[in-house]
Amino acid sequence: MKGSARAVPVLMYHHISSSPGMITVTPEHFAAQMAYLASTGHRTLGSRQLSAFLAGEPVPAKSVVLTFDDGYLDNWVHAHPVLQRHGFTALCFLVSTWPCEGEVRPNASSASSPTELPRLLNHHEGELAIDKGRADEAILRWSEIDAMRAAGTFEFHSHTHTHIRWDQVTRSRDEKRARLRDDLIAARQMLDKQLGEVSDHLCWPQGYYDDDYREIALDAGFRHFYTCHTGSNESDETRAGNAGRSINRLEVRDRPASWLASRLWVHTRPAISRAYLRIKR
């Protein structure tokens, strides 16, 4: 493939960890997937480059975006060192009430032996820890977030302030809208305070959104909405920037690099990607 990309695949990861789970990729598979991207000349786009591509600016063929949801500690322990080795950048979506203060913990490149690494909870254990007010056991610290930003391995964006599905826990539409508005405003304030900046990229908790969600999020200043819809992303310069843009993602499985290669082959070719998704449905 020559010239510029026709479509940009956005990959979705959660955990990179040896603690097994449905949305967990092992460090070995993750390292192999990133080595495949590097050896085949892929480059990773940051949020600004993705935004520019969606608005009609060309980006090189073999561009991909890496995303990580929720901000798990294992992203620091296992993903950051691999991204650093390849000079890759990923987007991490933080739930801004979850990160705690404290010192940077050892990771796979700083630890002299694996026994020094922090214990990594599986997804279910992590959910329980967060529920019980022990998010620090499962989630990145602000100090680790700073180190990842300084290294250029990760950008940090919003995944709301609480991860609560307001559509499920409120009794009226007005209440849902009010709670979501408060949540998104608090998220922006916290990221601005901790990072000194906040972007217009937002990842929907559990991929859920409706017309109210979009309207409130646009009002709060978000323009790019990361979904769990499978598919590729094409540029569309005709679309007004103020209307916001939904971004499709590919959920990466705990599979070898060859599996990722086949997904990318499909989803960098818009017509084939659409046909593939039609058949799958």
Local structure of 155: helix, strand or coil: strand
Per CB under 5 A, which region of 65-73, 112-120, 181-189, 259-267 contacts Zn ion?
A: 65-73
Residue number with CB closer to Zn ion (68 or 88): 68
Q: Kindly state the smallest distance separating residue 53's Cβ from Zn ion, in Å.
A: 24
Alpha helix positions (H), the chain = 27-39, 47-54, 73-74, 80-86, 123-131, 142-151, 166-169, 173-195, 211-220, 257-267, 270-280
Per CB under 5 A, which region of 15-23, 51-59, 67-75, 181-189 contacts Zn ion?
A: 67-75
Answer yes or no whether residue 69 interacts with Zn ion by CB under 5 A: yes
Answer yes or no whether residue 183 interacts with Zn ion by CB under 5 A: no
Residue number with CB closer to Zn ion (70 or 183): 70
Q: Kindly state the smallest distance separating residue 190's Cβ from Zn ion, in Å.
A: 16
Answer yes or no whether residue 70 interacts with Zn ion by CB under 5 A: yes
Answer yes or no whether residue 155 interacts with Zn ion by CB under 5 A: no
Q: What is the DSSP string of 16-83?
A: ESSS--TTEE-HHHHHHHHHHHHHTT-EE--HHHHHHHHTT---BSSEEEEEEEE-BHHIIIIIHHHH
Q: Kindly state the smallest distance separating residue 93's Cβ from Zn ion, in Å.
A: 7
Residue 184 and residue 119 in contact, taking contact as beta carbons nearer than 8 Å: no
Q: Can you give the binding site for Zn ion, defined by CB under 5 A? A: 69-70
